[in-house]
Structure 1
Amino acid sequence: MAKIAFILLCHKDPEAIIKQAERLTAVGDYMAIHFDARAKASDYQKILDALRNNPNVAFPKKRIKCGWGEWSLVQATLNAVETAVEEFPRATHFYMLSGDCMAIKTAEYIHEFLDRDDCDYVESFDYFESDWIKTGWKEERLIYRHWFNERTQKRRFYWMFEAQKRLGLKREIPQDIQVMIGSQWWCLRRRTIESVLDFTRKRHDVMRFFRTTWIPDETFFQTLVRHLVPENEIRNRTLTFLMFTDYGMPVVLYNDHYDMLLSQDFLFARKVSPEATELRARLGALYAAEDVVFQISNEGRNLYKFLAGRGRIGRRFATRFWETESTLGRERELMIIVCKKWHVAKRLLEKIRQVTNIPAIEYLFNEESTQLPDLGGIQSTIGKRTRHRRALMRMLFDYFDSDRLIVCMDPNNIDLLHDFCGDRSVTRLLEVECQFSDDYLIGHAMRVGLAGMQTPRETLERLLPTIRQDITFETDRIRDANFDNHNRIRETNSIGENVPPIAKFLSIPEEKAQEIAETNYLFAD
């Protein structure tokens, strides 16, 4: 009978990882866990303490700091695979998982499924001929070298790319390699894994090539398996069920997906929401069950596509089941800087970035030109951003791989403030109260189209009281809303008076808040 060594890459939620490991090894299978070296040391220690006496669980000797799109993800996988091969000589299959994956079949069914066919399961399509990459770079991922993380070192990443392009520093793909692409969630036989590891030790040229490609976790194993294994022993599919939105983001699974998941022709599913406690409990109990008969209909992806389309044209008669409990996430913190003087907020935001390293975005609901990552089009206009604001925020949290995010908003965005402050996430406001001179208000009137360069001074003077009252009205509306976690700093305050609200807003020590409050010319026009 098949004996599975699960290769688990994870970076958070130690309690869920412990439960997952105990559940999957209870039936005699194995697990090698790579816990991101960037994560909290206390979280890793908690996992070690809970599982150190489980003989079916192993940990790589070397942990890697992982980053999206980097070689580090592949190296972490290789470290975990090498550990599993060495520690679990009886393992026949190696199955790649994440912390968000859960079994949607019984252990009995999964082992019988793998015993049925002597093959590898890996999605692998020709890199250049297929349309697996829908938008963005294709050839550029391979022929240029990528040393920096696109998310955390964006300027260096794109500067290096442009420099190579201008200098014509293209490189050749190793001649005997046909690059393939596909999902990173594979299940490979032991002899395939051993062949891959042997290849990595012998072919240093191929390893050098992949180390500086972009998003190699979608190409490395997919390419090597096709290179090493006869085609008739490969099934071009993943055994992990996952769906993507039109914007290229994974669809999150919730409690009412249970029946749909069981009917899919897959063994595992991702991405199960941490908040879907009922779904997690039911799937956990299912895994240990016996003699369960599954009626495979495999309609999940088509059903999602159909219902999503009906919703967009206004012909959905009920809330989509994946939209229930639509939230940014209880574990996430959205911090909003509210300020009428955008240059002041931007100055403050830049200092916060330097001091805290929290991901931060400027006036994304007010300025079309605000720099945003490519999220499949949802970010392209202010109208789309506002219409799909919660989806946009969830995608930004996922993009930055962070549970904390700071954004700036104008005080007139009261509807957005109500929406976000009513979410299950932790939402904090920092209102920045500025002084407004007549000259500033005149400039403001010109920027928003209330006045022009040729507007007479007398007209401007009659307009000023109305504009000032309008700004006061926006501020009053925010205060009348009585939002929780509402903090305020003032231009008229001393630096010492502004320190506590900044510290509370960012949940940082007052020494760091002091450094932010001391920003040079913070309130200058």
Structure 2
Amino acid sequence: MAKIAFILLCHKDPDAIIGQANMLTAAGDYMAIHFDARADAMAYQKIQTALADNPNVTFAKKRIKCGWGEWSLVQATLNAIEAAVEKFPRATHFYMLSGDCAAIKSARFSHEFLDRDDMDYIESFDYFASDWIKTGMKEERLIYRHFFNERKNKKLFYTSFNLQKKLGLTRKIPSDIQIMIGSQWWCLRRRTIEWILDFTRKRRDVMRFFRTTWIPDETFFQTIVRHLVPETEIRTRTLTFLMFTDYGMPVTFYNDHYDLLLSQDALFARKISPEATELKTRLGALYADDDAEFKISDEGRSLFKFLSGRGRIGRRFALRFWETESTLGRERELMILVCKKWHVAKRLLARIKQVTNVPAVEYLFNEDDTPLPDLGGIQGSLGKRTRHRRALMRMLFDYFETDRLIVCMDPGNIDLLEDFNSDRSTTRMLEIQCDFTDDYLIGHAKRVGLAGERTPRETLERLLPTIRGDINFESDRIRDAEFENHLILKQSNPSDANAEQIENFLKIAPDKALEIAQTDHLFAD
């Protein structure tokens, strides 16, 4: 009978990982865990301690700091595979999972399914002939070398890319391999896994090539499996059920999706919401139920497409099943810098990013040209961003692969502030109260079109009380709203007083908060 070694890549939620490992190994299967080296060391220690007595669990011998789109994800997978091959000689299949995955069939069903056909299951489509990549880079992922992370070092990423392009510094794809592409969620036989590991040791040229390709987790295993395994022994599909929205983001499943998931022609599903505790409990019980029967209708993707279409033409009879929870996520923290002087907030934001490395976005609801990732068009205009603000924010959390995000907003955005503060996520707000000289207010009046270069001084002086009153009114409205986590940083306060507010806002150590509060020329105009 099939024995599965699950290859688990994860970076958070140690309690869920422990539960997932115990549940899957209780049926006699195995698990090799790679926990991101960037993640909390205490969380990793908790996982190791909790699973130390489980003989069916092992850990990658070397942890890698992983980044989306980087080779590090492939290397982390290879490290976990090597640990599993060495520790579990009886494993017949190796199945890629993430912490967001959950079994949607019983263990008995999964084992019988894998025993039925001697096959590898991996999406593997021709890189150039297929339309798997619909937008963005295609050939450029391969023929140029990518040394930087596009999400974390965008400027360096595109500077390097554009320089290579300008100088014609292209490279050739290894001549004897056909580049393939597909989902990273595969299930491979032991023989195939051993062939892959042997290939990585012998073909250093191919390894060098993939180490500097962009998003190699979509191409490395897909290409190598097709190179090593006869086509007749490959099923070009994934056994993990997942769907994507019109914006290219994974659909998240919640408690009311239990019946839908069970009817899909798959063994696992991704992504399960961290808040869907009832769903996880029911699926956990199902995995251990040897008598469970399944009626496969596999209608999930067609239903999603049908309901999406009805929504686009305004014919919505109810909430779409994937929209039943529009919260940002109970486990997430949204931190909002509120300031009328945008340059001050941007200066503080830049310093916070340097000290804490928390992902941050400037005035995304106020400035059209705020740098944002391509999220399928939802970020295209201020109107779209405001209308779909929660969806946009969820996408940004997912894009940066984080549970903590900082954004800047104008104090005039009271409706946005109220909306985000009413969400189930933890929302904290740091209002930066600046001093406003007459000269600054006059400049502000000109910037927003209240006055021009030829406006008489007398007119400007009559405008000043109104402008100052409007700014004070916006601040008063924020105070009157009585937001739960509203902190105030004042230009007139000493650095140590402001550091205390920053410490509570960011939940960081006092010395780091003071370092941020003492930013040079923070309030300079």
TM range (shorter): over 0.9
Separation in 1, partners of 2:125, 2:61: 33
Separation in 2, partners of 1:93, 1:338: 52
Separation in 2, partners of 1:496, 1:60: 44
Note the C-alpha offset of 1:330. Answer: 1.5
SS in 2 for 1:353: helix
User: More displaced, 498-507 or 239-248?
Assistant: 498-507
Separation in 1, partners of 2:220, 2:104: 27
SS in 2 for 1:322: helix
- Determine whether 1:141 maps to 2:138: no
> Which residue in the other structure is 1:267 paired with?
267
Amino acid at match of 1:227: H
Separation in 2, partners of 1:248, 1:233: 30
1:42-87 superposed Cα distances (whole Å, 9 cap, x missing partner):
1111111111221111112111111111111111111111121121
Separation in 2, partners of 1:42, 1:511: 21
Q: 1:450 to 1:313 in 2, by over 3 A?
A: farther
1:334-384 superposed Cα distances (whole Å, 9 cap, x missing partner):
111111111111111112122222111110100011111222211111111
User: More displaced, 411-420 or 312-321?
Assistant: 312-321
Separation in 2, partners of 1:489, 1:42: 32
- Determine whether 1:327 maps to 2:327: yes
> Which residue in the other structure is 1:52 paired with?
52
- Determine whether 1:500 maps to 2:500: yes
- Determine whether 1:515 maps to 2:501: no
- Determine whether 1:85 maps to 2:116: no
1:81-116 superposed Cα distances (whole Å, 9 cap, x missing partner):
112112111111111111111110111111111111
The aligned length equals 525
Where in structure 2 are the equivalents of 1:171-320 lying within 5 Å?
Answer: 171-320=171-320
Note the C-alpha offset of 1:494. Answer: 2.3
Note the C-alpha offset of 1:456. Answer: 3.0
> Which residue in the other structure is 2:420 paired with?
420
Separation in 2, partners of 1:467, 1:41: 50
Note the C-alpha offset of 1:509. Answer: 2.4
Note the C-alpha offset of 1:479. Answer: 0.6
Amino acid at match of 2:413: N
User: More displaced, 401-410 or 432-441?
Assistant: 432-441
Separation in 2, partners of 1:89, 1:488: 59
Separation in 2, partners of 1:437, 1:51: 61
Q: TM-score, normalised by structure 2?
A: 0.98
> Which residue in the other structure is 2:476 paired with?
476
> Which residue in the other structure is 1:459 paired with?
459
Where in structure 2 are the equivalents of 1:343-382 lying within 5 Å?
Answer: 343-382=343-382
- Determine whether 1:339 maps to 2:339: yes
Amino acid at match of 1:304: F
Separation in 1, partners of 2:358, 2:497: 23
Amino acid at match of 1:522: L
Separation in 1, partners of 2:133, 2:147: 21
Note the C-alpha offset of 1:169. Answer: 0.7
Note the C-alpha offset of 1:195. Answer: 1.2
Separation in 2, partners of 1:191, 1:265: 25
User: More displaced, 159-168 or 318-327?
Assistant: 318-327
User: More displaced, 267-276 or 512-521?
Assistant: 512-521
Separation in 2, partners of 1:277, 1:109: 23
> Which residue in the other structure is 1:396 paired with?
396
> Which residue in the other structure is 1:440 paired with?
440
Q: TM-score, normalised by structure 1?
A: 0.98
Separation in 2, partners of 1:241, 1:66: 24
Note the C-alpha offset of 1:451. Answer: 2.1
1:289-313 superposed Cα distances (whole Å, 9 cap, x missing partner):
1222211111111111222232233
1:180-227 superposed Cα distances (whole Å, 9 cap, x missing partner):
000000011111111111111111111110111011000000001111
Separation in 2, partners of 1:34, 1:521: 43
Note the C-alpha offset of 1:437. Answer: 2.0
SS in 1 for 2:322: coil
Separation in 1, partners of 2:9, 2:434: 47
Amino acid at match of 1:326: S
Separation in 2, partners of 1:91, 1:432: 58
Separation in 2, partners of 1:523, 1:194: 60
Structure 2, gaps ≥5 residues long: none
SS in 2 for 1:188: strand
Note the C-alpha offset of 1:246. Answer: 1.0
SS in 1 for 2:321: coil
SS in 2 for 1:171: coil
Separation in 2, partners of 1:498, 1:80: 45
Separation in 2, partners of 1:40, 1:517: 26
1:382-416 superposed Cα distances (whole Å, 9 cap, x missing partner):
11111111111111112222211111100110000
Separation in 1, partners of 2:394, 2:499: 30
Note the C-alpha offset of 1:455. Answer: 2.7
User: More displaced, 515-524 or 380-389?
Assistant: 515-524
Separation in 2, partners of 1:352, 1:199: 44
> Which residue in the other structure is 2:98 paired with?
98
Note the C-alpha offset of 1:36. Answer: 1.2
SS in 1 for 2:314: coil
Separation in 1, partners of 2:299, 2:404: 36
Separation in 2, partners of 1:119, 1:480: 64
- Determine whether 1:490 maps to 2:490: yes
SS in 2 for 1:197: helix
1:230-249 superposed Cα distances (whole Å, 9 cap, x missing partner):
11111110000001111111
Separation in 2, partners of 1:254, 1:523: 45
Separation in 1, partners of 2:35, 2:497: 42
> Which residue in the other structure is 2:449 paired with?
449
User: More displaced, 211-220 or 161-170?
Assistant: 161-170
Identical aligned residues as a percent = 78
Note the C-alpha offset of 1:325. Answer: 2.6
Structure 1, gaps ≥5 residues long: none
> Which residue in the other structure is 2:384 paired with?
384
> Which residue in the other structure is 1:34 paired with?
34
Where in structure 2 are the equivalents of 1:66-81 lying within 5 Å?
Answer: 66-81=66-81
User: More displaced, 309-318 or 270-279?
Assistant: 309-318
SS in 1 for 2:309: helix
Amino acid at match of 1:272: I
Separation in 1, partners of 2:445, 2:470: 12
Amino acid at match of 1:450: L
Separation in 1, partners of 2:82, 2:513: 45
Amino acid at match of 1:243: M
User: More displaced, 314-323 or 112-121?
Assistant: 314-323
Separation in 2, partners of 1:153, 1:379: 20
Amino acid at match of 1:75: Q
> Which residue in the other structure is 1:160 paired with?
160
Provide the alpha-carbon RMSD of the alignment: 1.2
